Amino acid sequence: MTTLIAGCGDLGLNIAKRLISKNQAVIGLRRHPPTSNAALSASNTKSPAINPALPVIDLASNDLFQWLAVDLRDPATLKALSKISQTITQVVYSATPDQRTPEQYRASYLEGLQNLSAVLGSDALIGHQTRRWVFVSSTAVYGASKSEWVDETSPAQPDGFNGKILLETEQFMHQNHQNSVVMRLSGIYGPGRNQIVQRIQQGLVTAPIEPPHYTNRIHIDDAARAIEHILSLQNPESIYVVTDQQPLPMHTLYNHIAKQLGAPPVLIGPSPVGMSSKRLSSRRLVDSGFQHLWPDAQMGYDALLKP
């Protein structure tokens, strides 16, 4: 079994290590692959010491892992994949745009997936199974904003350009690949993703108290483990919400982080512009047999901030 990870950043590397630990081959696509062992063992691919959930694998010297320098937005750079397309049994599409603009989102998500699909060709039987496709999407496809509960059956009615383009990409995936799964991730946190921690430490964050603004998180280890889990299922559902098990009022989570940092309490203020308040449910993922390592973001941040 060979898995192609298109857009192999820190999440992709996390997934790769888990698959390789099960003796599965992985091909990572990136425009500028790392050229040294140090780059592949950077701190942002490690788990907190309190729970070393990430396999210790040196990808740079592992025969099961291969880098290919590819720009998903440029069909010419994808030609090398046509020679090995019949060896690829699974595809994880986890590209990210360089900038938060409609043009970059469309190029990285929809057009990139279209380019990759064209090169890999038919999803007829690859070995003994139909090629599995997984698209790493976002809960931005939901337009809910009244703190209501949201799951896979909730209507996808995005307000922003990012959610609209992601939803269009999801639709392309389902229409063109019969064995496809969309993973809608909430906000990822973990090693190397410290922006909100730094802003809280600098006193640059506000949060409303009444009404509460709910925030949803998923630890990068659990995000990678969820994708690995879905790849292992015989007959997965077509869509999964990937989040932890405890939506939290923003002021609750941020003040918890502030306390751990020894920083002043977060000031009361308006919700961030463009960030809707909803409570995401991971019930379908949990019912499929998945178990979170970090079911509550407060626990996850405690581990990250532990001296």
- Tens digits of per-residue pLDDT, 35-74? 654 445 544 444 555 556 788 888 888 999 999 999 999 9
DSSP string, 181-231: EEEEE-EEEBTTB-HHHHHHHTT--EE-TTTT-EE-EEEHHHHHHHHHHHH
Domain boundaries 2-192+217-246, corresponding CATH code: 3.40.50.720
Surface-to-core class of residue 183, CB atoms within 10 Å of its CB (0-12 exposed, 13-18 middle, 19+ buried): buried
Q: Do 118 and 160 touch, CB atoms closer than 8 A?
A: no
What's the rounded Cα separation, in Å, for the pair 67 and 64? 10
In the structure encoding, which two tokens stand for residue 51, read together? 């729970």
Residues of the chain with pLDDT below 50 are 37-39, 42-46
Predicted structure pTM score: 0.93
pLDDT at residue number 59 = 86
At CA 186, angle to CA 182 and CA 192, rounded to 5?
Answer: 115
pLDDT at residue number 42 = 45
pLDDT at residue number 39 = 46
Alpha helices in the chain (DSSP H): 10-20, 37-40, 79-82, 102-106, 112-120, 161-176, 195-201, 220-232, 250-261, 283-287, 297-305
The three-state secondary structure class of 98 is coil
The mean predicted confidence, pLDDT, of the chain is 91
Please state the domain extents for the chain. Answer: 2-192+217-246
Q: At what angle do helices 297-305 and 250-261 cross, to 10 degrees?
A: 20
pLDDT at residue number 223 = 98
What's the rounded Cα separation, in Å, for the pair 223 and 220? 5
pLDDT at residue number 48 = 53
pLDDT at residue number 295 = 97
Query: Considering only CA atoms, which of 40, 37, 99, 31 is closest in space to residue 69?
Result: 31
